Structure 1
Amino acid sequence: MIFIHQPAVGAGATLLERRIIDLQDTIPEDTIWLDLIRPSREEELKVEAFAGIEVPTREEMKDIEPSELLYVEDGARYMTGRVLSKVSDAEEPGLAGITFILRGNRLVTVRHEEPQAFRMYTQRAGRSMGNGSASAASGEAILAGLIEAVIDRAADVLQLQGERIDRLSGKIFEVQEDPSARNTALQDTLRALGRHGDLISKQRESLVSMERILLSLSATYRTNKAPRDLREDVRSTLRDLQSLEEHATFLSTKIQFLLDATLGLVNLEQNNIIKLFSVMAVVFMPPTLIASIYGMNFKSIPELDLSFGYPMALVMMVVAAVFPYVFFRWKKWL
């Protein structure tokens, strides 16, 4: 699909009108943003002919080499980043590659998923892009707005994950009397920590890719003497992004601490089980020894002729079993 965005002035503010076009339609010259979502080859060729660019393939967008993600070709600047998004209706969000192509005053975005950040930006831009005339809208301003929307969405995700981790922290250290419920809770906690850690790791990877784009834009704008307000916006967005990276690192460290604490509690539970078996072995060892002595098949065993020999042996076994148990309780080992 090809969505085009054209600037329009209304109520003293610049709006961004969005509409879809078909292959047989002509792309208007005043289009400043072309958004390609899961484009077919015919749609890619149509945009390439209109904008004078080369649309990268989905495989090329998956490269991790910086030279394949940030480069300039035929006067167009190509920037590929990764944004957290629902991928193929998966239960957990994944990272979707998005390519921003900036040429002159026109922006082209290529994506195969629909991140929440893009929907947030298009809704906001449809209401207002700021005061001024239609000339205030530009591909560079839209690019800055999209990156800002991605960072805002990342902040929301990290805040939500932080709240969930705080709730998990309280559950980990609360006292539960029922051993079976405690074991089940620890297993659920381990799974939840794994999911949160994976999501935060993906979000941090997304922030790193956006940071590369912002650093590249900052260097370009400084070299090309871009407008001061645009350079300030990029620097401000970069500072916000770096602070979010620090917060993501903090959350990752907290998850690692909670993971270590949970595994420590699991080990304690296992030690309690092993301790119980050890105590039972020690408790039954003396009675077993006594029973073994009187079970030996010797002809001359003095106690066998006693009328109270059998009760005496039973009493000896009970005392031999009770004494270790009482000793362990006295030492507070149980």
Structure 2
Amino acid sequence: MLLIHGICPATRDKLLHRAIGPEDGFPPESIWLDLLNPTAGEDARVEKHLGISIPTREEMHDLEPSEIIYTENGAHYMTARIICQSETIVPKLADVTFILTEKALVTVRYDEPGAFNIFLNRATKPGGCGTQPEAVLDGLIEAIVDRAAEVLRGVGDQVDEASRRIFAGRGQDVEQGSAYQAVIQKIGQYEHIISNVRESMVSVERVLLFLSANYTRPKKAQTGFSAEWRAAVRDVQAIEEHATFLSNKLQFMLDATLGLVSIEQNKIIKLFSVVSVALMPPTLIASIYGMNFKTMPELEWQWGYPMAIGLMILFAVLPYMLFRWKKWL
């Protein structure tokens, strides 16, 4: 699908967007060409219109590190990994290529990150976007960063809730079910989201650093965006630091959860050990008087059986009382 986003001719303070058919021409006020799951024909049309080459899906996926960001024939090619399907349990990263030219910004994507819809909602309102391709790119990057911060904030709230559940939980929950197993599974899901956010922000930071250092403002442009891009770099770095903090917190939670599981297991083992020790003397007494020797003086005693039972009870209670006195139970 080929989406055209152009400046509103009447007010020139917002973007209008529509899809164009195979026979439609490019409006002169178009400053953003958005290729969503493009066909070969749509790629060819944009290439002919702007005099650039459009990477295919396979080329975007198989890019070498040196080919992620480069300049060719006056056009700046930048590929970033953007958080996609963030509302699901396991979000994924989508490769998006930004091609910045003097005439328009071209985006090539095969997924629909939520940041694009966020930016479109802003850009279609008065004053929501500038009238230059650089302004569109700046707005898109801002939406991507805001979306990543929102996802990270949501994960942080869920991590806090999981932390309260871990440290305020009761021991019997572990014995009755898989409470800690569910927590460990959640920790893995949160770590996956955080690592995706961090990876996305690293790729966006590379784009911003490239633009800040290498992009030259066109002569027709009224203002530059170097200051905005440098500020965005600081925002990205702040998100990366927050992601690192949450990752460390998850590691602590994982260690604490595994420690609590070990404590519960040790309680069970200790109980078995106490029972074994308490039953050893009665077992010894029962073994002695269970022998089938012909000559055993106690066999003729009238109170032999009650005596043996009493000894077994006595020597079962004594270890238990000793453990209680030592505070081992």
- TM-score interval (norm. to shorter): over 0.9
Partner amino acid for 2:243?
A
The alpha-carbon deviation at position 74 of structure 1 amounts to: 2.3
- Map Cα deviations across residues 212-264 of structure 1 (whole Å, 9 max, x no partner): 10011111137989876411111111111111111111111111111111111
Partner amino acid for 1:174?
A
Q: Distance in 2 between matches of 1:172 and 1:182?
A: 15
The alpha-carbon deviation at position 174 of structure 1 amounts to: 0.7
**Aligned counterparts, 1:1-334, within 5 A:** 1-10=1-10, 14-63=13-62, 65-86=64-85, 91-129=89-127, 136-176=130-170, 178-180=172-174, 183-221=177-215, 229-334=224-329
Q: Distance in 1 between matches of 2:61 and 2:307?
A: 82
Q: Distance in 2 between matches of 1:85 and 1:150?
A: 10
- Map Cα deviations across residues 169-192 of structure 1 (whole Å, 9 max, x no partner): 111111426345775332221121
| Contact 2:173/2:179 (<8 A) preserved | no
Unpaired runs of at least 5, structure 1:
none
Q: Distance in 1 between matches of 2:169 and 2:118?
A: 43
Moved more, 161-170 or 144-153: 161-170
Give secondary structure in 2 for the equivalent of 1:178. helix
Change (3 A) 1:175 1:120: closer
Q: How many residues align?
A: 328
TM-score by length of 1: 0.91
Q: Distance in 1 between matches of 2:175 and 2:253?
A: 19
| Contact 2:83/2:94 (<8 A) preserved | yes
Q: Distance in 1 between matches of 2:186 and 2:95?
A: 26
Q: Distance in 2 between matches of 1:42 and 1:129?
A: 34
Unpaired runs of at least 5, structure 2:
none
Q: Distance in 2 between matches of 1:208 and 1:81?
A: 9
| Contact 2:50/2:103 (<8 A) preserved | no
Change (3 A) 1:221 1:129: farther
Q: Distance in 2 between matches of 1:94 and 1:179?
A: 33
| Contact 1:129/1:137 (<8 A) preserved | no
Q: Distance in 2 between matches of 1:252 and 1:161?
A: 11
Partner amino acid for 2:258?
L
Q: Distance in 2 between matches of 1:320 and 1:303?
A: 19
Give secondary structure in 1 for the equivalent of 2:8. strand
Change (3 A) 1:314 1:269: same
| Contact 2:217/2:224 (<8 A) preserved | no
The alpha-carbon deviation at position 24 of structure 1 amounts to: 2.1
- Map Cα deviations across residues 21-73 of structure 1 (whole Å, 9 max, x no partner): 11222222332111011112222222222222222122222246321211122
- Map Cα deviations across residues 148-176 of structure 1 (whole Å, 9 max, x no partner): 10001111111111111112111111142
Partner amino acid for 1:327?
L
Q: Distance in 2 between matches of 1:123 and 1:130?
A: 8
Aligned-pair identity (%): 50
